[in-house]
Structure 1
């Protein structure tokens, strides 16, 4: 009879080295999924493929996420929630300054993600229920843009243009082989937002 100390470990060891040695298993799954969604496409990526990329069993992936939709929803929310939270800290600034600061920060969030997950905003699946929270948060961020633009003397349409201008870096990441340094691009987009507003 074997002793407790000689019992076999539960589960199967990972195949290969870890993707992100300092990350949790959940973070590794999100990173692998983001890479696959951005490079292969959402429809062409299965949970089995994500698990294989991480080096875990598919059953282990399901311990962290119920399905592929839940993984994508969390990734999408991570592209808007930081900016929405940051916007709440700008109330003491003038509207134009707050708008400039928000655009600068928002562009930074979209550029900092290792994988360009924003290219999936236009997927038809995003209109379905699993992505309702993402849609609400993105619309709330859009409303902040409109509100700050209006408070700075601009129109609602200008607010939409500025929101689109910030998100335009998603297309730049997709289409351009090289981008300017992140801080230079953040400055350029934030300054362009104020020019649209007529405040610079």
Structure 2
């Protein structure tokens, strides 16, 4: 047996990515929750997938709900942090600049959903995820959606009024990005899906002719996200 920590020998050598047992547990739970559901995954199955004893798992997480909560929070936290940063940039005076901010958030958010090791977005639809136990996740996701709305409104305020009854641009973009979760589940997403989705939102805004310029500014924002934080 190998060691999973002081006094906690592993049952077998782990093949999970992660520098700590906690990270390995999250990876195993992500795979099992997304493939067979939360309710159908006992903590023993998670421990077995990591190669540790069930009692060792409880050293890191008190309950299965704690594991789900950390996974849910992790799906939205990076995108929310980036959207907050982009929204703090001085409000642009040109439609292309405003559209680029929205495009950048959609591109970053969509990339997070498409490139994660497991399709964690499917956890959003779990009935357990809608309970008060996961209110922090719900609040963060709502804030992210509101930032999409604010960035979309900045674009709309600089353009001629669109058709009456059309959904706000920010809401459209938010829903387009989250549709990547279903596309990935159906095996229909690839490395270019996040970019294509962000582009589609800008085209819906009526800025297809400015897409190249929007992309250039957007990609610069995403590339410099560490400097902006």
Q: CA deviation at 1:125?
A: 1.3
Matched, 1:119 2:115: no
Contact kept? 1:87, 1:144, Cα under 8 Å: yes
In 2 relative to 1, CA 67–22 (structure 1 residues): closer, same or farther, beyond 3 Å?
closer
Q: What is the CA–CA distance in structure 1 between the aligned matches of 2:176 and 2:207, rounded to whole Å? A: 16
Contact kept? 2:28, 2:46, Cα under 8 Å: yes
Contact kept? 1:99, 1:149, Cα under 8 Å: yes
Secondary structure of the structure 2 residue equivalent to 1:20: coil
Aligned match of 1:185: 193
Structure 1, unaligned runs of 5 or more: 1-8
1:137 to 137, 140, 164: 140
Q: CA deviation at 1:22?
A: 4.8
Matched, 1:199 2:207: yes
Secondary structure of the structure 2 residue equivalent to 1:152: helix
Contact kept? 2:109, 2:177, Cα under 8 Å: yes
Q: What is the CA–CA distance in structure 2 between the aligned matches of 1:48 and 1:129, rounded to whole Å? A: 25
Secondary structure of the structure 2 residue equivalent to 1:89: helix
Q: CA deviation at 1:96?
A: 1.0
2:72 to 70, 76, 90: 76
Contact kept? 1:80, 1:138, Cα under 8 Å: yes
Q: What is the CA–CA distance in structure 2 between the aligned matches of 1:168 and 1:19, rounded to whole Å? A: 31
Q: Give 1:87-98 correspondences, 5 Å limit.
A: 87-90=83-86, 91-92=89-90, 94-98=97-101
Secondary structure of the structure 2 residue equivalent to 1:121: helix
Contact kept? 1:150, 1:156, Cα under 8 Å: no
Q: CA deviation at 1:19?
A: 2.4
Q: What is the CA–CA distance in structure 2 between the aligned matches of 1:22 and 1:36, rounded to whole Å? A: 16
1:27 to 23, 26, 32: 23
Q: CA deviation at 1:77?
A: 1.1
- Answer with 145-154 or 163-172: which moved more: 145-154
Q: TM-score, normalised by structure 2?
A: 0.77
Matched, 1:162 2:170: no
Q: CA deviation at 1:128?
A: 1.3
| C-alpha distance after superposition, 1:92-137 (max 9, x if no partner) | 4632111001111001111121111111211111121221110010
Matched length: 189
